[in-house]
RNA sequence: GUGGCUGUAGCUCAGCUGGCAGAGCACUCGGCUGUGACCCGGGUUGUCGUGGGUUCAAACCCCAUCAGCCACCCCA
């Protein structure tokens, strides 16, 4: 029979890597709880229109990266390419604004984008996502950045760069776009790279982010967003930075930082690492004040970020294997079922480990025990069955002693052999 | 969507100008009636990614296709 293989860009997350994912989610849960965030679990499939309206019709994500298909009744569905849209849909649909003034939510799970896979980029990837809805305060922007930094620090990831920018708002951004347009108009073939010639028309902000030296040189004298922001946006951004400074949080101002999702306004940020290849962005987010009303909800502001779990996993490395408390070696036909009963007693007492299930030589069972690195190897044979004892062997030290069965759980629990 | 590199044992990889499919690790059995690691000896493991083509003969050359990796692009 022909084997069926997984879809391109999709991955099986097996042990021990699955432990890393579990660790990330547990750490997130613990840290986020300190800030008042609660978990939501939302559908992976949504109506296509949700993403067109939130992410933006003209973005790359919507234009060429979505898994979109009709259901059995011909309605267009899309596998979520990001989490914020779905969280906002759920917020509106469940009238969460009626429950509390500020709603703090987080979620973790798979996202789907049809892109060419490479290091740190899969078609099914996983994000931890945080959203805070209901407050326009710049202090909330700062708090969410504190929380993101706190989370990454708790995971123990060094050498991350936190970049911060303000994109302005619908009131002031058009004038900046206009200015950029004006600035780039003069540059033609030979001055800007081919990509930027396209970008200066579609998304002039992206030209500022180009890595080609010639383009970089030109952008040095390009107009700055800061000079075009309205007083309200300027004040907001200054308040965010003041809060970050007061806590002495390390960050860099990135006036060229652009986001590929249309809903972002004012504060935006990105966390990058130089150690994981070209896809260096580990987390990214910002404020999205007009998003909820554009989806038919109340006119409430929001802030959030997404954290890429595959990229975090690249930085975390292999986890320590968990050491079982015991491994039980059973010698002889009668010792096998007796060994299972004994193992079950120990598990009931909160001790973890495995026992032999099939009759094999002492040598092969001991070899297996050695691989599993249990705190103790327990040996149960005919003579131990007869005397109601168990041989307890410390594989690290090579020492062993005979312990009465009734006292075994206590003996194992009190031992300091880790 | 574009470009480059790569697919050979469970894993890591050799395999020359086309001529019997290899090594190390792992696994397994034994040396040691019921004691692991270290040591010694034996043993198992393959549609050479897949499908075509060239050839007396293809893991090797050609075409196609699938998958992986890296980069562009884009983003977490």
pLDDT at A1: 64
- How far is it, in rounded angstroms, from Cα A85 to Cα A296? 12
A394, closest nucleotide (Cα–C1'): B36
* Hits for CB < 7 Å against strand B across A residues 359-398: 360-364, 366-371, 377, 379, 381-384, 391, 393, 395-396, 398
- How far is it, in rounded angstroms, from Cα A56 to Cα A130? 20
The predicted-structure confidence for A57-95, as pLDDT tens digits, reads as follows 888 899 899 999 999 999 999 999 999 999 999 999 999
Of A317 and A8, the one with more pLDDT: A8
* Hits for CB < 7 Å against strand B across A residues 250-269: 258-261
Which of A145-154, A169-178, A213-222, A348-357 has the lowest average pLDDT? Answer: A213-222
Q: How far is the CA of A362 from the C1' of B31 (A)?
A: 15
Q: How far is the CA of A354 from the C1' of B43 (A)?
A: 29
Q: How far is the CA of A302 from the C1' of B56 (A)?
A: 75
* Per-residue tokens: A228: 């075009």
The predicted-structure confidence for A384-417, as pLDDT tens digits, reads as follows 999 999 999 999 888 999 999 999 999 999 876 6
> Is A353 within 7 A of strand B by CB distance?
no
Q: How far is the CA of A248 from the C1' of B54 (A)?
A: 70
Which of A34-38, A143-147, A212-216 has the lowest average pLDDT? Answer: A212-216
* Hits for CB < 7 Å against strand B across A residues 106-145: 113, 115-122, 125, 127
The dihedral region occupied by A173, where left means phi > 0, alpha psi between -120 and 50, and beta the remainder, is alpha
Q: How far is the CA of A2 from the C1' of B18 (A)?
A: 30
Instruction: State which residue has its Cα closest to the C1' atom of B68.
Output: A8
pLDDT at A15: 87
Q: Looking at strand B, which nucleotides approach a protein CB closer than 7 A?
A: 1-3, 27-30, 32-37, 47, 66-76
pLDDT of residue A381 exceeding 80: yes
Indicate the helix (H) or strand (E) that contains A391. Answer: strand A389-394
Rounded-to-10 torsion of CA A354, A355, A361, A365: 20
Give the end-to-end CA distance of chain A in Å, rounded to a whole number: 47
> Is A306 within 7 A of strand B by CB distance?
yes
> Helix %, strand %, coil % for chain A, to 5?
40, 20, 35
Cα distances (angstroms) measured from residue A358 to each of A138, A204, A246, A333, A341: 64, 69, 64, 9, 14
* pLDDT above 90 coverage of chain A, percent: 72
The residues, ordered by sequence, that sit 6+ positions from A175 with a Cβ below 8 Å of its Cβ are A228
> Is A286 within 7 A of strand B by CB distance?
no
A199, closest nucleotide (Cα–C1'): B73
The predicted-structure confidence for A102-154, as pLDDT tens digits, reads as follows 999 999 999 999 999 999 999 999 999 999 999 999 999 999 999 999 999 99
SS3 of residue A316 by DSSP: helix
> Is A17 within 7 A of strand B by CB distance?
no
Q: How far is the CA of A8 from the C1' of B19 (A)?
A: 38
SS3 of residue A217 by DSSP: helix
pLDDT at A416: 64
- How far is it, in rounded angstroms, from Cα A234 to Cα A98? 31
The dihedral region occupied by A190, where left means phi > 0, alpha psi between -120 and 50, and beta the remainder, is left
pLDDT of residue A418 exceeding 70: no
Q: How far is the CA of A274 from the C1' of B70 (A)?
A: 16
Of A335 and A211, the one with more pLDDT: A335
This prediction has a pTM of 0.92
Indicate the helix (H) or strand (E) that contains A68. Answer: strand A67-70
């Amino acid at each position: 029979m022909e084997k069926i293989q997984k879809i391109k860009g999709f991955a099986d997350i097996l042990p021990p890597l699955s432990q890393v994912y579990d660790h990330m989610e547990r750490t997130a849960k613990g840290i986020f709880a300190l800030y008042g965030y609660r978990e939501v679990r939302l559908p992976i499939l949504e109506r296509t229109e949700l993403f067109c309206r939130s992410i933006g019709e003209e973005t790359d994500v919507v234009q060429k990266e979505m898994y979109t298909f009709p259901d059995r009744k011909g309605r267009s569905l899309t596998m979520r390419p990001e989490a914020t849209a779905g969280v906002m849909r759920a917020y509106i649909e469940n009238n969460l604004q009626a429950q509390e003034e500020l709603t703090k939510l987080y979620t973790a799970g798979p996202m789907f984008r049809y892109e060419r896979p490479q290091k740190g980029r899969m078609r099914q990837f996983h994000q931890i996502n945080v959203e805070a809805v209901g407050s326009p305060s710049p202090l909330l922007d700062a708090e969410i950045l504190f929380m993101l930094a706190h989370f990454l620090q708790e995971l123990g990831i060094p050498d991350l760069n936190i970049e911060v920018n303000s994109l302005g708002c619908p009131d002031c951004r058009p004038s900046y776009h206009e200015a950029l347009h004006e600035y780039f108009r003069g540059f033609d073939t030979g001055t800007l790279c081919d990509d930027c010639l396209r970008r200066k028309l579609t998304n002039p902000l992206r030209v500022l982010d180009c890595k080609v030296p010639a383009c970089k040189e030109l952008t040095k004298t390009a107009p700055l967003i800061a000079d075009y922001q309205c007083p309200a946006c300027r004040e907001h951004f200054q308040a965010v930075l003041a809060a970050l400074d007061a806590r002495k949080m390390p960050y860099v101002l990135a006036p060229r930082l652009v986001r590929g999702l249309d809903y972002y306004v004012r504060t935006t940020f990105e966390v990058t690492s130089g150690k994981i290849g070209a896809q260096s962005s580990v987390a990214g987010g910002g404020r999205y004040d007009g998003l909820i009303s554009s989806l038919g909800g109340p006119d409430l502001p929001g802030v959030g970020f997404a954290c890429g779990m595959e990229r975090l996993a690249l930085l975390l490395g292999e986890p320590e294997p968990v050491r079982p408390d015991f491994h039980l070696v059973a010698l002889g036909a009668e010792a096998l079922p007796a060994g299972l009963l004994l193992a079950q007693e120990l598990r009931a007492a909160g001790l973890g480990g495995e026992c032999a299930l099939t009759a094999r030589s002492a040598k092969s069972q001991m070899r297996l025990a050695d691989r599993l690195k249990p705190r103790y190897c327990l040996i149960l044979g005919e003579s131990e069955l007869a005397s109601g004892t168990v041989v307890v062997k410390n594989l690290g030290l090579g020492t062993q002693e005979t312990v009465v069965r009734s006292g075994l759980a206590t003996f194992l629990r009190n031992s300091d052999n880790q």
